[in-house]
Amino acid sequence: MKVLANDGISKSGIKALEKGGFEVITTKVAQEQVANYVNQNNVSVILVRSATKVRKDIIDACPGLKIIGRGGVGMDNIDVEYARSKGIHVINTPASSSESVAELVFAHLFTGVRFLYDANRNMPLEGDTNFDGLKKAYSNGIELRGKTLGIVGFGRIGQAVAKMALGLGMKVIAADKFVDKAEVKVEFYNGQFINVEFETEPLEDVFKHADFITLHVPAQEGYVIGNEEFQLLKDGVGIVNCARGGVIDEVALLKALDSNKVAFAGLDVFENEPTPEIQILMHPNISLTPHIGAATLEAQDRIGTELAEQIISLLKNEK
């Protein structure tokens, strides 16, 4: 059987699939050519990340598809229920990238509270001529320790963020429509650990009490944070979005940044990918990354291996 990994797959994933008797194709096929390619090459499994979309048209056009796999958590680029109604397995790897995304959240938070988003732009330009001036400009940073982190969306990634926040000595408050309680295990070098129990709070309370907000929700209708929600936030709040573009109203965010309602933002995802708005890209108080939350070597290895294990388990009796 053939597997088309259209958005790539780790070497460990390829190795595991080939060991299981599958042929892995890593050719990048353009979105409009996916259905033709799948049919012409008798592909049984298509693996995607966020770039390739597997909608009803592809599902209808490819009767030979047995599995659609998503490397990562969200499956908003796949018509999941429709695929399953046609007897196609739809799989993902929700646990594989949690720590990588959580670490990127803190990369943006540390960048924000110590002005690295600005210092990294200005030091190459003025570091040799205005060192003392830049030193003074960036000397009012704050610590994360002791501050309150508001986590919107308390699934696997949200809980991984909470664990790291606890390690930094932060206070954590979380909101989630579907999670009432969660237990976060914080492990230590010598084998000891502590379990911290969380009860989620109303979203409005998180907005009112958090010094920093981080979003971990799927794509959805409407904004999670728009003009009205920005008014509920503390003055000088920091906001990080490593979840999905479109959950923050970027126009409202720019207004909040310009009025100093929001001190800084960290964005890994954007409303218009892969062509974010130039006003977002050029704003001096935004830390920017190009949708790389799960893009660590460790996460990619876990994703590839986990996808391979699921595929082999589902199709081992059909080859």
Q: Cβ(268)–Cβ(294) under 8 Å?
A: no
Q: Cβ(150)–Cβ(175) under 8 Å?
A: yes
Can you spell out the DSSP letters for 121-169?
HHHHHHTTT-HHHHHHHT-----STTPEEEEE--SHHHHHHHHHHHHTT
Of residues 230, 226, 288, the one with CA closest to residue 259: 230
Annotated active-site positions, please? 244, 273, 291
Bridge partners of 172, per DSSP, are 149
Residue found by looking up tokens 């996460």 in the block: 299
Distance from chain centroid for Cα 243? 4
Count of C-beta atoms within a 10 Å radius of residue 271: 18
Phi/psi for 74 (5° steps) reads -65, 145
Can you spell out the DSSP letters for 26-74?
-----GGGHHHHHHHTTEEEEEE-SSS-B-HHHHHH-TT--EEEESSS-
Region class of 260: left (phi > 0), else alpha (psi between -120 and 50), else beta: left
DSSP H or E stretch at residue 207: helix 203-209
Residue 21 corresponds to which amino acid?
G
Instruction: Give the C-alpha separation, 219 to 74, whole Å.
Output: 8
Q: Cβ(210)–Cβ(238) under 8 Å?
A: no
